[in-house]
């Protein structure tokens, strides 16, 4: 079975902190994605990566950056966390079907 794991299920950070969310997949997938999910707004793509060191902006990249140094790991970085980044963050990987991680519920206070 494909496994996508995320570093934390719940995270509480203070405004202005640098936040790292990590995602690891074990199926050698080229494509990896970071989404945020908010009530009433559905799933929105922040960034995706289609190969090591390759990345593209999604629909809402502002305030975020990403890193993919190894094929299995895709990190989302909040350079200076703000309260409007409080959300559920979901990572996914795919070759054809898309497999989602369990999500990280981030609260920025």
Partner 1 sequence: KNEVEQSPQNLTAQEGEFITINCSYSVGISALHWLQQHPGGGIVSLFMLSSGKKKHGRLIATINIQEKHSSLHITASHPRDSAVYICAPRGSSNTGKLIFGQGTTLQVKP
Give the contact letters, 18-57, x = binds to partner 1 (CB under 8 A), - = no.
-------------x-x--------xxxx--x-x-----x-
Tokens of 2: 């494909």
Q: How far is the CB of 50 from partner 1 (least distance, A)?
A: 5
For position 107 contacting partner 1 by CB under 8 A, the verdict is: no
Total binding residues toward partner 1, as defined by CB under 8 A: 22
Residue 89 contacts partner 1 per CB under 8 A: no
Burial class (CB in 10 A: 0-12, 13-18, 19+), 9: exposed
- 29-61 core/surface letters (b: 16 or more CB in 10 A; e: else): bebbbbbbeeeeeeeebbbbbeeeeebeebeee
- Binding region for partner 1 (CB under 8 A): 31, 33, 42-45, 48, 50, 56, 58, 90, 92, 94-103
């Amino acid at each position: 079975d494909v496994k996508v794991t995320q570093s934390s299920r719940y995270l509480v950070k203070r405004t202005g902190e640098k936040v790292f969310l990590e995602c690891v997949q074990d199926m050698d997938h080229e494509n990896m994605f970071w989404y945020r999910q908010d009530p009433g707004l559905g799933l929105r793509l922040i960034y995706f990566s289609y190969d090591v060191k390759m990345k593209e902006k999604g629909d809402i990249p502002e305030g975020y950056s990403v890193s993919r140094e190894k094929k299995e790991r895709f990190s989302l970085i909040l350079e200076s966390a703000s309260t409007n980044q409080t959300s559920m963050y979901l990572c996914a990987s795919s070759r054809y079907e898309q497999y989602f991680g369990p999500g990280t519920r981030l609260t920025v206070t």
